[in-house]
Structure 1
Amino acid sequence: MPKILIVGGGYAGFYTAWKLEKWLRHGEAEVTVVDPLPYMTYQPFLPEVAAGSIEPRHAVVAQRRHLKKTNILTAKVTNINHAQKKATILPAVGEPWEFNYDIVVVTAGAVSRTFPIPGVADEAIGLKTIEEAVAIRDRVLSNFDKAATLPAGPERARLLNFVVVGGGFAGIEVFAELRSFASALLKNYPEITFEEVEFHLIEAMGRIMPEVSEKTSHWVLKNLAERGALVHLDTQLTSAVNGKIELSTGETFESDLIIWTAGVMANPQIVRNTDLPIEERGRLVVRPDLRVGTDDEIVPDAWGAGDVSAVPDLSGGGVGGYCVPNAQHAVRQGKLMAKNIVAVLRNEDPKQYVHKNAGAVAGLGLGVGVFQSGKIAIKGFPAWLAHRAYHGLAMPTWERKIRVIVGWVTNFFLGRDIVSLIAVQTPRAAFEEFASRPKPPAAADTVKPVEALKKPAVKKVAKPAIEKESVAASK
């Protein structure tokens, strides 16, 4: 029975394994997914998780719960040697070992792409994982708690200054969602005024959201301005050392929360440690049918999809001729790749991936959104409903759909939960503070021997004979 190794359990990897379970016959192949995380993250929900609109666990899908027929390895793949069909597996505990496979599927995804700007690596946080979204939410709430106890001044202003770098879809969504979140928090913090809370978005280009029309992007800018958010276009971040923001325009201010959303790149841990072909931008070379290789040459038994791969966009709408790295493509590529793998196993011809972008939809805070499909643009509340409807249905598995939708309904009646759990980042702090510890032994020179503490024995001394004689004479 051939062994299929899926490297990465994100969108493309999860959907490939999920559909292989459906379409493979019993005993036709053995499927193994290797990912350092035991869940798939639905990344379009990360801005809403950061803004407290979605419970964090509801935005992830447990692999072991929904991949019943797949072997799950919670570990890292550190090397793919396709010439020998071996992959090096590095578990969280223990020594690395080699996994022999017959077919490899590379869906390792992407990571945040940063630039060598002073302070960014030390101060900023990305928005690619559920852990980052939770940390952002807790930081906002914690900063409000701290600022409410401080008098007006530089430290209070630093806590209430929030910065997002990058004006693409992810950046605008988290920027707008957090602005909505912060405005809603003010009723619970009477010590803080609306004018004190500042949001800055820094974008190096002259416009935001290239996925929508320029007219729609202008409407978004106007809407953000009306809500008190500042967008710096044609502006670059030049330094963020110790939270001090320095812009290319000469403007400076301080911030305690810097969110980096200015681009992604293919997972370097995979593309730098494989003998599979890699193109100049560091992505896996993939054919339209999702097999690794070029039009002239196919790498047998190797497949790729998602953000780690340069998949040709046959619809003509891609950037540079390739599919853009987003969830819409990764999900559909994963489904088709599962079909194509089964087809090749049965000596049938695989199909090419062709998908015309269905449009772009973004949530900009409670009750506000934008939708763009061709020349059709919807703004405001109807677009926000479309955003929730689309992503609510796109969330994989009915179990997760129900959890997310029920959470939305609950928040509508009860409001967002504003409890910060930032202490979970140091869970043992309270225990350690009050835990009893053994007393250190005393120094050796300060301890007296036991014998020295005993009362000294009294010796009886015999009286001299001359003394006895003098006493008798006196009598």
Structure 2
Amino acid sequence: MSTTERPRILVVGGGYVGLYAARRILKKMRYAEATVTVVDPRSYMTYQPFLPEAAAGSISPRHVVVPLRRVVRGAEVLTGRVTTIDQDRKVATIAPLVGEAYELPFDYLVIAMGAVSRTFPIPGLAEQGIGMKGIEEAIGLRNHVLEQLDKADSTTDEEVRRKALTFVFVGGGFAGAETIGEVEDMVRDAAKYYQNVKREDMRFILVDAADKILPEVGPKLGLYGKEHLESRGIEIYLQTSMDSCVDGHVVLKNGLEVDSNTIVWTAGVKPNPALARFGLPLGPRGHVDCNEKLQVNGLDYVWAAGDNAQVPDMAARRAGVENAWCPPNAQHALRQAKVLGDNVVAGMRGFPQKEYAHSNKGAVAGLGLHKGVAMIVMGKMKIKLKGRLAWYMHRGYHGMAMPTWNRKIRVFADWTLAMFLKREVVSLGAIESPREEFYEAAKPAPQPAAPAQEKAKAS
């Protein structure tokens, strides 16, 4: 950590908003005008829309993440957590990966912590559930699912086999529908290489408390998505929640009970709970309360955007929609980050700041290889696509939205190679405990018990 007399702009979070806001600030700032410090528990940013494809092996996991130190050159990147912020003193407490916590003074503050999985006190969920918010979870899900096929192929116990081949997904939004579509595609391919496992032996279940899936693309495309997944043998239960999943025994509100080793939780997100310790005004659902210029209300030196911010949707409000707020998606996050970066520099110089206003351009979702839905908004016209064309739109949009040309090229290269090479279906489950085998080899051998006669002499 460097010490400097220059004003410090502290960016809390290195996700989509944090990365793009820091880059924008560095680009607009004059030489040595301020110090930009980015703090995040991870040294990389994850492009979350690609997590389902990473879980299915369509994209290499390394190509879904962007190293912060490489992309925000000129900024100070600290790997750790901001635990508390004293707004009166303008001091943040940093807890690094190792060592004791320390205080870091700042002059300007950007809150870009994103969101965490929204969970409920369901018995067994903490022990059995698998989230889909980070690349580690996507890799873990892929290894876990393929490991279940290995178990089912090798066992003679029908109960163990049935539990291994039952996959339960909770949440029918983008994350849930895309993940179950990609994973089902993967295991359908993988089953070709197993003698004792067929797709017909597997059971995929998608559960959602709402009355439809994929609400972001509208009711008609959402219905198409539901019918398409069901045509692939996926059971979908709407207006249903999960009551418990202790030891993998899943009990649904509609009375259905199944045993499963795989319970994937994608039932929405919520603002990072650490925001409550930052001395900021929060909205009713825990978001940072911002105005149309992305400034935190009542604090002219603090800005926020993305999933952890409550930002007025000025485009919708001008169209007559009262109390409209920007939805938490990558489309808004990218554009908010650029406006936020400009406004931080303008605020630092005492210049007027810009208002954030962006009209929704639509939504795209992939449901596996060559399958998808897309709604494109062009003025007052909505173009609805489904099938292969929508899948191309999904890949094209997110491929170009991926930060940096380095990662764009790598992602498109993965897709191009996949056109000619078969999908990898190798489970690397041991990667989660790589030292276990070495430990077994290196640990001291147990000493043989002393003969009874020597024990008697010793006594």
What TM-score results when the alignment is normalised by the length of structure 1? 0.90
Corresponding residue number in structure 2 for 1:466? none
More deviation, 71-80/367-376: 367-376
Are 1:251 and 2:221 an aligned pair? no
Corresponding residue number in structure 2 for 1:327? 330
Matches within 5 A, 1:390-409: 390-409=397-416
> In structure 1, how many angstroms separate the alpha carbons of the residues matched to 2:108 and 2:349?
14
> In structure 2, how many angstroms separate the alpha carbons of the residues matched to 1:226 and 1:13?
41
Change (3 A) 1:387 1:82: same
Q: Deviations over 1:187-241 (max 9, x none)?
A: 1113212211111000111111111221111111111111111111111111111
> In structure 2, how many angstroms separate the alpha carbons of the residues matched to 1:91 and 1:163?
36
5+ residue gaps, structure 2, are 1-5
Whether the aligned pair in 2 keeps the contact of 1:201 and 1:232 (CA below 8 Å) is yes
Whether the aligned pair in 2 keeps the contact of 1:221 and 1:231 (CA below 8 Å) is yes
> In structure 2, how many angstroms separate the alpha carbons of the residues matched to 1:244 and 1:79?
39
Q: Deviations over 1:397-422 (max 9, x none)?
A: 00011111111111221122111111
Q: Deviations over 1:227-282 (max 9, x none)?
A: 1111111111111111111111111111111111111111112x121211112211
Corresponding residue number in structure 2 for 1:346? 349
Name the count of aligned residue pairs.
445
The amino acid of 2:384's aligned partner reads A
> In structure 1, how many angstroms separate the alpha carbons of the residues matched to 2:190 and 2:267?
27
Runs of 4+ in 1 over 6 A off after TM superposition: 447-450
> In structure 2, how many angstroms separate the alpha carbons of the residues matched to 1:205 and 1:300?
39
Corresponding residue number in structure 1 for 2:373? 370
Are 1:410 and 2:413 an aligned pair? no
Whether the aligned pair in 1 keeps the contact of 2:47 and 2:64 (CA below 8 Å) is yes
The amino acid of 2:286's aligned partner reads G
Matches within 5 A, 1:97-136: 97-136=102-141
Corresponding residue number in structure 2 for 1:193? 198
Are 1:379 and 2:386 an aligned pair? yes
The amino acid of 1:97's aligned partner reads Y
Corresponding residue number in structure 1 for 2:289? 285
Change (3 A) 1:136 1:320: farther
Whether the aligned pair in 1 keeps the contact of 2:192 and 2:198 (CA below 8 Å) is no
Query: Max radius of gyration: which structure?
Result: 1
User: 39, 47, 53: which is aligned to 1:42?
Assistant: 47
> In structure 1, how many angstroms separate the alpha carbons of the residues matched to 2:16 and 2:431?
28
The share of aligned pairs that are identical, in percent, is 46
Change (3 A) 1:419 1:310: same
SS at match of 1:111: strand
The amino acid of 1:241's aligned partner reads V
The amino acid of 1:407's aligned partner reads D
More deviation, 148-157/163-172: 148-157
Are 1:299 and 2:299 an aligned pair? yes
More deviation, 54-63/427-436: 427-436
Whether the aligned pair in 2 keeps the contact of 1:12 and 1:330 (CA below 8 Å) is yes
Query: What's the Cα RMSD here?
Result: 2.0
What TM-score results when the alignment is normalised by the length of structure 2? 0.93
> In structure 1, how many angstroms separate the alpha carbons of the residues matched to 2:315 and 2:177?
26
More deviation, 430-439/298-307: 430-439
5+ residue gaps, structure 1, are 451-475
Q: How far apart are residue 178 of structure 1 and its match?
A: 0.9
> In structure 2, how many angstroms separate the alpha carbons of the residues matched to 1:33 and 1:5?
6
Whether the aligned pair in 1 keeps the contact of 2:402 and 2:408 (CA below 8 Å) is yes
